[in-house]
Amino acid sequence: MTSVDQLTVPLAGDVRMPLLGFGTWQATGQAGYDAVLAALDAGYRHIDTATMYGNEREVGRAVRESGVRREDLFITTKLPPERVGRERETIEESLRALDTDHVDLWLIHWPPATPGDSIPTWRELLAARDEGLARAVGVSNYSVSQIDELIQATEETPAVNQIRWSPTLYDRRTHAAHRDRGVVLEGYSPFKTSDLSDPVLTRIAAAHDASPAQVVLRWHIDHEIVVIPKSVTPERIRANFDVFGFSLTAEEMRDIDALGR
């Protein structure tokens, strides 16, 4: 499957974000480099990193050596909240480490500790977007009301909110609140927050000749929720990408949704 065939979700400004990406938290040094190279080789075209992960240099090197064209890739990085006031310097450092002149998505990693800092920080992200350093900008770990404050102050909606998400954390109202505002929901830690031996997941997996982990990923995709599984294990990296050959029925989706508490 090429990047063109991958399922994507549109963001403002003619940007398309692949629904399945590759997570890189705790994948550092040589292991991080090897994992990203294996992911690109397996077909992932969306890589999630962050200043805080300390692996942007390895991500950049893997991208360069993979031979994948930059325009075929979607790269996200994130501003740590302690860099508030030093946004411009931080994105420039990220771009140097990633060896690219822009990222596809730049997120505020966590709401700043001082609530009053959120809006000025958001304005800095918008300025970076307007200068072409990021094609889209958004937030992570924001509540819907914190997103509303940004929209109210700037009339600019974050393209994405990256939050912890999985069948167990499924909440229809939170999903709808993001959709209603035009904010793409991106889930993180899909496995760490799942019980992969749950009988609902194992039953549905068996029906599709898939694994429960693949069902969890496909459930996100069928909800049009972006998902970014991480692995440093080559077989898992490949298996986690091999989710485009099946999809879940409406009934299966409902059964998995019901795992949400």
Ligand X SMILES: NC(=O)c1ccc[n+]([C@@H]2O[C@H](COP(=O)([O-])OP(=O)(O)OC[C@H]3O[C@@H](n4cnc5c(N)ncnc54)[C@H](OP(=O)(O)O)[C@@H]3O)[C@@H](O)[C@H]2O)c1
Nearest to 154 by CA among 178, 141, 137: 137
Is 18 or 229 the residue whose CB approaches ligand X more closely? 229
Contacts with ligand X: how many residues (CB under 6 A)?
23
How many of the other CB atoms lie within 10 Å of CB of 131? Answer: 11
Instruction: Tokens 């969306």: give the residue.
Output: 46
How many of the other CB atoms lie within 10 Å of CB of 148? Answer: 14
Is 73 or 213 the residue whose CB approaches ligand X more closely? 213
In three state form, how does the secondary structure of 203-230 look? HHHHHCCCCHHHHHHHHHHHCCCEECCE
Out of 33, 44, 53, 170, the active site residue is 53
Mask of contacts with ligand X, 178-217, x by CB under 6 A?
A: ----------xxxxx--------------------x----
Q: Counting contacts by CB under 6 A, is residue 24 touching ligand X?
A: yes
Nearest to 77 by CA among 59, 61, 64, 63: 59
Q: Counting contacts by CB under 6 A, is residue 239 touching ligand X?
A: yes
Q: Counting contacts by CB under 6 A, is residue 223 touching ligand X?
A: no
The least CB distance from residue 1 to ligand X, in Å, is 18
**Residue 230 main-chain phi, psi, to 5 deg:** -110, 140
Burial environment of residue 251 by CB neighbours within 10 A (0 to 12, 13 to 18, 19 or more): exposed
The least CB distance from residue 198 to ligand X, in Å, is 13
Most distant pair of Cα atoms in the chain: their distance:
52
The least CB distance from residue 185 to ligand X, in Å, is 12
Instruction: Please tell me what DSSP assigns to residue 63.
Output: H
Q: Counting contacts by CB under 6 A, is residue 8 touching ligand X?
A: no
User: Could you give the C-alpha distances from 109 to 84, 97, 120, 139, 216, in angstroms and in order?
Assistant: 11, 18, 15, 6, 24
188 is catalytic: no
Of 95, 134, 183, 228, the residue at the interface with ligand X (CB under 6 A) is 228
Q: Which range of residues in 94-102, 143-151, 197-205, 230-238 is near ligand X by CB under 6 A?
A: 230-238
Q: Counting contacts by CB under 6 A, is residue 238 touching ligand X?
A: no
Q: Counting contacts by CB under 6 A, is residue 240 touching ligand X?
A: yes
Q: Counting contacts by CB under 6 A, is residue 230 touching ligand X?
A: yes
Q: Counting contacts by CB under 6 A, is residue 232 touching ligand X?
A: yes
Instruction: Give 63's Cβ-side CA count (13 Å radius).
Output: 26
Q: Which range of residues in 146-154, 173-181, 222-230, 246-254 is near ligand X by CB under 6 A?
A: 222-230
Mask of contacts with ligand X, 63-102, x by CB under 6 A?
A: ----------------------------------------
| H or E stretch covering 59 | helix 56-66
List interacting residues with ligand X (CB under 6 A). 23-25, 48, 109, 140-141, 162, 188-192, 213, 228-233, 236, 239-240
Positions annotated as catalytic residues are 53
